[in-house]
Structure 1
Amino acid sequence: MPFVVLGAVVAGILEEFLPQEALTKFLPKAVLPSVMIGAVLGLLFPMCECGIVVVMRRLLRKGLPLSCCIAYMLAGPVINGVVIFSTWVAFKDHKIGPEMVGLRVGLAFIVACVTGLIVQLQFRKYGNALLTTSAIPPVKPTEAEAQAAPKPREPLMRRLGNISATALHDFVDIMVFLILGCVLAAIARIYITDTQIQSISTDQPFLAIPAMMFLAVLMCLCSEADAFVAASFTKLHVSGKLAFLVLGPMLDLKLVLMFTRVFRTRLIVTITISVIVLTLILCVGVHLVYDANNWTGLPPGAAG
């Protein structure tokens, strides 16, 4: 909840002080470079996935292209200073701290960029029909209209009141779905134990990747703490840990519910399929590379 509050406050500040289409002036015209920039916006607007949806919606309404917003929403909870540091701390005693940071950031960047490009193809066909009414950017007045009716500058206290009103609206709008997602996650954790996950990793290593992806969706962990949970599975192959750490911040029960306040069903399905398939393929690739080089990715004394 604190991160949702923070996200709502940041969203209110963006709505009040960020000029319409200000960010688009700094983006390249080509889609791929602009999507790549969107994927690293988390370094400027660091948010975990709990609060990033409301920030992303405000950036979308401020004219940031949908493909860039999707890339930011997916990669931002991973590619930011707090999560990078927490991932390193969680795995430093395993002797693979920098390795896990590099793999997690790299895979998240690839998944976010490719998904952003796929969404761009959808947007060219369907346009704003992919978005809910609250996420569609307002119609920008023409230059003649702006000159005929210039917007008066409001006093600071009025603007602070506008920020509070926007933040409160976004907080209430999203919080219902966060609570529902947390309830579902709590129910799932009653029936899924750490021992079951480690048993799958040892007996069927390739099954561990989709199993950890499924667990990440159910557990709804914050990206600033999930690395410590992944590190606790000491006998789990590094590919399974990566699947958990890459997919979790991009897709879980609460996020899917939050998406319904911004995206139409078609776009939600597109994002869901894209991030699941890409994460699975990339993590299987990591598993094959590790096995080919006889690397374990396990902390000392955890092998076998």
Structure 2
Amino acid sequence: MIKILRSSIIDFTGLIIIGLTLLLFSFSTSFNGALTFPPSVLDLNTIFLSILIEALPFILIGVLIAGMIQIFVTEEHIQKWIPKNKVMAVIMSCVVGALFPACECGIVPIVRRLISKGVPIYAAIGFMLTGPLINPIVIASTYMAFGNNIKMAGLRMGLGFLIAILVALTISFVVKGNQLKTSISIKSTHSHLHIQEKSFMSLFWSMLIHSIDEFFDMAKFLIIGAFLAAFVQTYIPAKTLLETGSGPVSSLLVMMGLAYVLSLCSEADAFIGASFSSIFPTPSILGFLIFGPMIDLKNTLMMLSVFRYKFVMGLLALVISTVFITIMLLQSFL
């Protein structure tokens, strides 16, 4: 308990230092020239803060749900809920994800807790891919962003669901084990013996402790990922990427790369995607809308903190290839 408290204090102190630094950057223009920064640094800070402010509420929701899973959901519950058949387990996980409002940031701690409780890796990945992409809030925002166009919202939902199932099914046949890092897997082990004997307040307090621990564990990787995404957006002009996207293949790759780098929240990315509609064809816009919520830069770093390196890189390659091939094969129908 003392070690956990000490670790949390260290993490919290680090977050305070980062926050004070950001505050200094934000108000540097008010020092009347005593302390000045290049405009690019201020732009970097603005983008960085916007990504953090956008993502933090979903991280908080995610860690609270993860804490509830850790305390109130037992391995026996998981065994009853998850079908034994791999295909049925994948389909069920994707359906649950589609109904679950979550951001790609907040869903990582939830997935980690589910896997530590015994959810198969392929079912957890199906849930992780569909949760940020096909939930009701995302579909509604897509519908509004494209001028109440039900076609774009439907294509995003249908293709995203298909791609998530294909990726999860592939993982079910080629990946063994839960792929969690050893230290995290050990830390996630929690005995549910005598849980019925504990009072609700005791369980609630335990849930908060786990949620706080989860938050500090995830927040540092979110900060690093947000900074890298802001750095790329500041110092690699989008114009450079857009100029290379002239053909159907290159334009799709450019929009997928842009989605990965921008690391936008899935509840808001449709409005950015809609702004490219006059420049890129529909298949490329769909690549942006589908690939970004599944995996982006900050999400990759958060997954690297949870899963083994080879698995994350393999998952990234699998999602990229599946999104690209699926859209290219169906582009004549889009």
Query: Number of residues paired by the alignment?
Result: 276
CA offsets, 1:39-80, max 9 Å, x none?
A: 121244321101000111111122221110011011111121
Matches within 5 A, 1:171-182: 171-182=215-226
Provide the C-alpha distance between the structure 2 equivalents of 1:6 and 1:251, rounded to a whole number of angstroms: 19
Q: Are 1:194 and 1:233, in contact at CA under 8 Å, matched by a contact in 2?
A: no
Provide the C-alpha distance between the structure 2 equivalents of 1:42 and 1:104, rounded to a whole number of angstroms: 15
Is 1:36–2:60 an aligned residue pair? no
**Paired residue type of 1:113:** I
Match of 1:260 in 2: 304
Match of 1:161 in 2: 205
Residue of 241, 249, 258 corresponding to 2:285: 241
CA offsets, 1:138-180, max 9 Å, x none?
A: 4989xxxx6xxx4552112211111111111111111111111
Match of 2:168 in 1: 116
Match of 2:10 in 1: none
Residue of 67, 76, 82 corresponding to 1:27: 82
Q: Are 2:69 and 2:114, in contact at CA under 8 Å, matched by a contact in 1?
A: yes
Matches within 5 A, 1:130-209: 130-133=179-182, 134-135=184-185, 138=189, 150-193=194-237, 195-196=239-240, 199-201=243-245, 203-209=246-252
Provide the C-alpha distance between the structure 1 equivalents of 2:94 and 2:301, rounded to a whole number of angstroms: 22
Provide the C-alpha distance between the structure 1 equivalents of 2:164 and 2:191, rounded to a whole number of angstroms: 29
Cα displacement (A) at 1:28: 2.6
Provide the C-alpha distance between the structure 2 equivalents of 1:200 and 1:283, rounded to a whole number of angstroms: 19
TM-score scaled by structure 1? Answer: 0.84
**Paired residue type of 1:101:** A
**Paired residue type of 2:223:** I
Q: Are 2:99 and 2:136, in contact at CA under 8 Å, matched by a contact in 1?
A: no
Structure 2 unaligned residues grouped into runs of 5+: 1-55
Is 1:282–2:319 an aligned residue pair? no
Match of 2:266 in 1: 223
Provide the C-alpha distance between the structure 2 equivalents of 1:198 and 1:151, rounded to a whole number of angstroms: 56
Structure 1 unaligned residues grouped into runs of 5+: 291-304
Q: Give the SS at the match of 1:271.
A: helix
CA offsets, 1:77-102, max 9 Å, x none?
A: 11211111111111125xxx211112
Distance 1:140 1:173, change over 3 A: closer
Identity of aligned residues (%): 36
Is 1:46–2:101 an aligned residue pair? yes
Match of 2:294 in 1: 250
Q: Are 1:21 and 1:62, in contact at CA under 8 Å, matched by a contact in 2?
A: no
TM-score scaled by structure 2? Answer: 0.76
Indicate the structure with greater helix content.
Answer: 2
**Paired residue type of 2:249:** F
Aligned-residue RMSD, C-alpha:
2.2
Q: Are 1:227 and 1:245, in contact at CA under 8 Å, matched by a contact in 2?
A: yes
